[in-house]
Structure 1
């Protein structure tokens, strides 16, 4: 079995090109995985997204270069959590413990990390011709609506 965090690796997530590179690297690894391993990867991704679904992180404002600030939408927060996961297990763990540093994942360029949500299911469908079905204790609704807040 391939370890989720080994597949994720780590990225500094400082701009859109680093996110694109991380997604490409992960995609290449997923391409070599069997369908059951792809399902396990998707399950672990759901779990990681669910666990970092914290109110304090959802309340970090989006800051634009012009000094404007606005609240994250539920989609923006989901993609920011994806960017945090792309940063790797160490950074993810630090954010989970302290909440400090999440603002870099709220930056508009980090929305590119949305692609992480689709990599395993697209590869699964390419290999099997069927849609991936993931059974998990971690709700897809909480991944996009920030309802599972664990303050």
Structure 2
């Protein structure tokens, strides 16, 4: 049976670093219940969902820093902002795809720790099998 990506992700508040930490911990806990093949499936779905958000309209949304400084997103910043968007859940992703301005909520520097989502399934797979995920 294929893993339901959005059931593992859930729907999370992602307005602060603390929110990201809680969301990541919840996803990590759900991944522990999956078998290794489902971890691979989750990782594949994660990559497909990140790719679906890899849009120039989203990448062009600027980052506003404290003090009013405005910068373009770097490639890494954009990737981590997409992770934060995914952590917010399916409905939020759909909303961003319908209205790119909504992605501005995820480019905040305080949400960059959403990067951790990239490594959860791979780390759990390695922990359980002793082998890196292929």
* Bin for the TM-score computed over the shorter chain: over 0.9
The residue aligned with 1:82 is: 83
Counterparts of 2:54 and 2:26, CA distance in 1: 25
The residue aligned with 1:122 is: 123
Cα deviation for residue 34 of structure 1 reads 0.3
Counterparts of 2:75 and 2:101, CA distance in 1: 20
- Asked if structure 1 preserves the Cα contact closer than 8 Å seen for 2:12 and 2:89, the reply is yes
The answer to whether the aligner puts 1:30 opposite 2:40 as a matched pair is no
Q: Deviations over 1:88-115 (max 9, x none)?
A: 0000011012212111110001101000
Structure in which a larger fraction of residues adopt helix: 2
Question: What is the 5 A alignment of 1:58-77?
Answer: 58-77=59-78
* Runs of 4+, deviation exceeding 3 Å: none
Under a length normalisation based on structure 2, what TM-score does the superposition of the two structures give?
0.97
Under a length normalisation based on structure 1, what TM-score does the superposition of the two structures give?
0.86
Count of aligned pairs between the two proteins? 133
SS at 1:14's partner residue?
coil
Counterparts of 1:41 and 1:25, CA distance in 2: 15
Cα deviation for residue 29 of structure 1 reads 0.7
SS at 1:72's partner residue?
coil
Cα deviation for residue 79 of structure 1 reads 0.2
The residue aligned with 1:7 is: 8
